[in-house]
Amino acid sequence: MAEERHICALLRQGCGGCPLLETPYPEQLRQKQARVEALLGEFGPVSPILGMEHPWHYRNKAISTFCTGPGRRLDSGIYAAGTHRVVPVASCLLHHPALDEAVEAVRRAARLCRYEPYQEDRGTGLVRHVLVRHSRATGRVLVALVTAAPVLPGARAFVSKVRELCPQVETIVQNINPRRSSAVLGPREKVLWGRGYIEDTLCGVRFRLGASSFYQINPEQTEVLYRTALDGAGLDGTQTVVDAYCGVGTIGLAAAGRARRVLGVEFNPSAARCAAQNARANGAGNARFLCADATAYLQGMAARGERADVVFLDPPRAGSTPEFLGAVDRMGPERIVYISCNPETQRRDLRLLAGRGWKARLLQPVDLFPHTEHVECVAVLAKIRGGGM
């Protein structure tokens, strides 16, 4: 693993984006490995964490919050840790460079159009944040300008300046967020230019990404994570697969080429719609995506006596529910593949499954978020039936 040290001036200004930046990367990996072993070691040996060769500029998404900078000039950056004070950011060691270039183009275009930064405490001003996404497959960028009000004066001039300054930009949307809350995106969106989305490819599958789509932010390591999960599932084209908590269908669609049938369950309606669209766009006729609560849906499947050979679950940080895990157990799959971004809730859930006879065949941590405290872990489980595996 290459040991490179980077100095970041933003750390001294209170930026909380990379709390481990001053810890050498090999040491970060040792700490994450030790943490996963302490939490999950009771279920079996934990494989060595899969880290990045070059753990820099891996992020494919950035959010920059507008503020008033020196000389009362519009600027933008990131909130200082634990505050609502914005630290101006021109470039970040974690962002793909195209993201910083796009944000700089937006800042310059916004100054030219004389947009006023939104003031949270007073509720005045227009522009709140800019969200940018980069496609590793195409190199193109989506820009979403988040405004407090629906009218964007000089929208055409804004669009043409951003395009002139940053030719990688492929589409520009305006997201309208009038709410006085810390949520970045609001409920309404207008396409100012282009298609309103970009496309990226993950594990050979094409995905459509809008401003609000949930999509893993480290594409290189996401492929490592999904490959680990798919290989662990032992798919050979004959299995019925459930992809629970499926987001825009990334795991299910990556599995579809190696499965007989895939059923994805996701409770966010826009993500579930995207998953269905992604299935059509990739010609995955064997994949179906439903908008439902994963617990309620799996309980229904178990009650109807429906079976699955492999169940993938990738729940949010809070983990799954005892009812979901009980239903999966009753459905009698050959494997459960549990992907988690929180080993603490994963331990709670694995204990419940261990109590029903499920054993870990693989516990594989993957570093999706270098320089932060987060760690993902794939647990592949099989049930001991009649004393053997």
Ligand X SMILES: C[S@@+](CC[C@H](N)C(=O)[O-])C[C@H]1O[C@@H](n2cnc3c(N)ncnc32)[C@H](O)[C@@H]1O
Coil, helix or strand at residue 71: helix
CB of 121 to ligand X, least distance (A): 31
- Catalytic sites, residue numbers: 341
Q: Hey, what amino acid is at 271? A: A
> Of 41, 316, 355, 357, which one interacts with ligand X (CB under 6 A)?
316
245 is in an annotated binding site: yes
Radius of gyration of the chain (CA): 22
Residues 20-59 vs ligand X: string with x where CB under 6 A?
----------------------------------------
200 is a site residue for ligand X (CB under 6 A): no
DSSP 201: E
Q: Which of the ranges 135-143, 149-157, 311-319, 373-381 carries the binding residues for ligand X, by CB under 6 A?
A: 311-319
Instruction: Tell me the C-alpha distance between 382 and 101, whole Å.
Output: 47
Range 25-64 burial, b when 16+ CB lie within 10 A, else e: beebbeebbebbbebbeebbebbebbbbeebbbbbbbbbb
> Of 13, 56, 214, 286, which one interacts with ligand X (CB under 6 A)?
214
| Total residues at interface with ligand X (CB under 6 A) | 19
200 is in an annotated binding site: no
Instruction: Tell me the C-alpha distance between 196 and 126, whole Å.
Output: 21
Residue with tokens 């599958």: 205
Instruction: Tell me the C-alpha distance between 377 and 288, whole Å.
Output: 26
216 is in an annotated binding site: yes
369 is a site residue for ligand X (CB under 6 A): no
CB of 266 to ligand X, least distance (A): 5
Residues 236-265 vs ligand X: string with x where CB under 6 A?
---------xxx--xx-------------x
Q: Which of the ranges 19-27, 128-136, 266-274, 357-365 carries the binding residues for ligand X, by CB under 6 A?
A: 266-274
Contact status, residue 217 vs residue 59, Cβ threshold 8 Å: yes
> Of 92, 205, 263, 294, which one interacts with ligand X (CB under 6 A)?
294
H-run or E-run covering 38: helix 25-40
CB of 240 to ligand X, least distance (A): 18
358 is a site residue for ligand X (CB under 6 A): no
Distance of CA 362 to the CA centre of its chain: 23
314 is in an annotated binding site: yes
Sign of CA dihedral 61, 275, 146, 169: positive
Contact status, residue 315 vs residue 328, Cβ threshold 8 Å: no
Q: Which of the ranges 9-17, 48-56, 281-289, 312-320 carries the binding residues for ligand X, by CB under 6 A?
A: 312-320
If the CB atoms of residues 56 and 214 are measured against ligand X, the closer one turns out to be: 214
344 is a site residue for ligand X (CB under 6 A): no
Instruction: Tell me the C-alpha distance between 324 and 96, whole Å.
Output: 37
Coil, helix or strand at residue 383: strand
Using CB under 6 A, list all residues that contact ligand X: 214, 216, 245-247, 250-251, 265-268, 271, 293-295, 314-316, 341
Residues of each annotated binding site: 216, 245, 266, 314
Residues of each annotated binding site for S-adenosyl-L-methionine: 216, 245, 266, 314
